[in-house]
Amino acid sequence: MIIVGGGIGGLGAAFSLTRQGLRVRLLESAPSFGEVGAGIQLAPNCTRILDDYGLLDEAKSLGVVPDAMVMRDAVDGGELTRLDLRDLEKRYGYPYLVIHRSDLHGLLLRACERAGVELVNDARVVAYENTAAGARATLASGGTHEAGLVIAADGLHSAARGLLVDDEPVSSAYVAYRGTVPAAQPRVQGADLGEVVVYVGPKCHFVHYGLRGGELLNQVAVFESPRALAGQEDWGTPDELDQAFARTCDFVQEGLPFMWRDKWWRMFDREPLMNWVHGRIALLGDSAHPPLQYIAQGAIMAIEDGWVLGEHVARSRAADGTVDWDAALCAYQAVRPEHCRRVLTTSRAWGELWHLDGLAREQRNALLRARDTYDYAFVDWLYGPTALTADQEPPMFTPVPLSSVDLGDAAGTPAAAGTAV
């Protein structure tokens, strides 16, 4: 079989399917394998899969297992709510882990090499089509690759998605700046590297947590771009970064000079897609469900996709080793799109909640302050075992409207607990 795309999702799927005894060829457009960015968060629904793959110990050695996740108000710096991540690990059986994106990518790449995945570089796929025996991927060079199944793990701008829907990426008008700070810097002395912290502010937020065993402080600054809202092409520039955080507390503002100012990430998603399979061509990862980052599930969904497909391949394999691809793809299609639809829509809603101002901000803060640290009602649907069938998908939480908050007496009001970008 063929997988197109050598990112986290493509590598994860390649390893998952190879361990089921399949021969996998992975096509990557870049001349070498690598990953850009900084930190990434892996909730228990992902570390559970890494453990099943035999990769969790290595991931833990490369990352940090934090003690707590804390949400603060970006304007006054005050704490709003927290999750006890050590207790969370007891509840779900697996840790919450933060790791450098390139370290996770390298871990999966090494696993694929050990497993015998055929890795092909300089192979940019521009077209997909079904064949009598399976499917074909055509390269920009004119070459082709054929197999019984082709998985398109080729990201936000997937060439395969057009086989299923005529849509375009949706701009949120938000942009992210990233940066890492060595632990020896005075800036890091004011941060607890055992915490994942998000400061939520009007039309902006700021995240920090430790990486590489506490050697680095990872920072992410996200804000709404006025130029993007005005329809201008040059948006998300460093001057907009500084202006967006002008109202925030000293700790947040003091972190801005450490951001990489020569590169920024504009934040796009797409409308949920409920059909991912076209004959023997299947979408996986961001090609199917690119999310906004607010509940930190983008890479996790991609890893889950590969694990679920691998499990259904195992269940659809005959004694002679042949796979009933129709059955495996039908089972994959039956469970993954609905889960990922929930993540996409919840990510959008959570982003709106983070970026409130005025009365709505005060109501949100009151809700969050009233939340019990050990209330998991708002994350049980997300952090539990990855569903293999639709009936295993847990129920969603019940939203609490901000209008229900009486600012004169907000004590005891339940609220959502969430994750940070």
Torsion 241-421-10-279 (CA) sign = negative
Distance linking the first and last C-alpha atoms of the chain? 33
Q: Which helix (H) or strand (E) holds 152?
A: strand 150-152
8 Å CB contact between 23 and 322 = no
* Structure-token pair, residue 40: 């990434």
Write down how long the chain is. Answer: 421
β-partners of residue 100 are 39
Tokens 């996986």 identify what position?
284
* Structure-token pair, residue 251: 């700790």
- How many Å apart are CA 38 and CA 32, to the nearest integer? 19
* Structure-token pair, residue 289: 């469900």
Count Cβ neighbours within 10 Å for each residue of 239-263 and write b for 16 or more, e otherwise: ebbbebbeebbebbeebbebbeeee
* 151: CB partners within 8 A, 6+ apart: 1, 2, 3, 4, 10, 13, 281, 282, 283, 284, 309
CA dihedral 338, 339, 341, 344 (to 10 degrees): 180
Assess whether 199 carries a catalytic annotation: no
* Structure-token pair, residue 266: 């504009």
Tokens 């398109």 identify what position?
152
- Name the catalytic one among 199, 209, 294, 376: 209
Q: Which helix (H) or strand (E) holds 3?
A: strand 2-4
8 Å CB contact between 95 and 85 = yes
Torsion 55-60-62-64 (CA) sign = positive
| DSSP E strand boundaries for 159-305 | 170-182, 195-201, 204-211, 216-224, 265-269, 277-278, 281-283
- How many Å apart are CA 134 and CA 286, to the nearest integer? 23
Q: Which residues are annotated as catalytic? A: 209
